[in-house]
Amino acid sequence: MHILVVLAHPIKESFAAAMARTAVAALEASGHTTDLLDLYAEDFDPRLTADERARHMEPDYDISTVAPLVARLRAADGLIFVFPQWWFNLPAILKGYLDRVFAPGVAYDIDPKGGRLVPMLGNVRHFWALTTTGSPWWIVHFYMGNPVKRLLKRGVAAFCAKSLDFHMLSLHSMDQSTLEKREWFLERIRRQVGKL
């Protein structure tokens, strides 16, 4: 398989970057090919333009401003998003990637009879998220209802692809984590991703 790994963190030496490197190494060790898309390193502009928004519901939506990124998405059999959760949400650059690249005619089509979204990412069979949170597990799950997982699984994956393997690995209480806990989590990523 060919896996697109999308990294969203501004610091090259971040733990998110270490997670992305670990995932790529595990995938390649299992015989897969990878494409590491570091949104910050590639200077991705997350801002949806006025023209893009104005044409959003029109037939034959023009993707020319993000065509190279669309080509990379269409070439993938699987996606792995790697990011920290800030304010119980995606980093702005990753949200912008979804807004601009998961566009009409790419990730979904709009049914003209009722406005229903029709999934178009038939090439993508696996959608994973590798993430960290500053909050403990119980805050994320019980108090907040795990919003990032719900957003990605129900609000993105379910509308863009059918019969998708969705999986999310999260390291909670990142700000208080020890080196041993972070190394354990990287090993968990290595084992789980290596099974793809």
pLDDT tens readout for residues 159-171: 898 889 999 999 9
Q: What is the pTM of this model?
A: 0.94
The CATH code of the domain at 7-193 is: 3.40.50.360
Which of the two residues, 32 and 110, has the higher pLDDT score?
32
* Longest distance between any two alpha carbons in the chain, whole Å: 55
Mean pLDDT of 135-158: 86
> What is the distance between the terminal CA atoms of the chain, rounded to a whole angstrom?
9
Rounded to whole angstroms, the Cα distance separating 191 from 113 reads 45
**Residue 168, number of CB atoms within 10 A of its CB:** 15
Q: Where are the alpha helices (DSSP H) in 9-89?
A: 15-29, 50-54, 67-74
Integer Cα distance of 170 and 136 in angstroms = 10
* Confidence band of 112 (pLDDT split at 50, 70, 90): confident
Percent of the chain with pLDDT over 70: 100
pLDDT class of 106 with cuts at 50, 70, 90: very high
Question: What's the gap between Cα 13 and its chain centre?
Answer: 20
Q: What number of residues does the chain have?
A: 196
Segment among 42-46, 69-73, 140-144, 187-191 with least mean pLDDT: 140-144
Q: What is the pLDDT of residue 35?
A: 98
For residue 34, pLDDT beyond 80: yes
Percentage of residues in the chain with pLDDT exceeding 90? 70
Mean pLDDT across the chain: 93
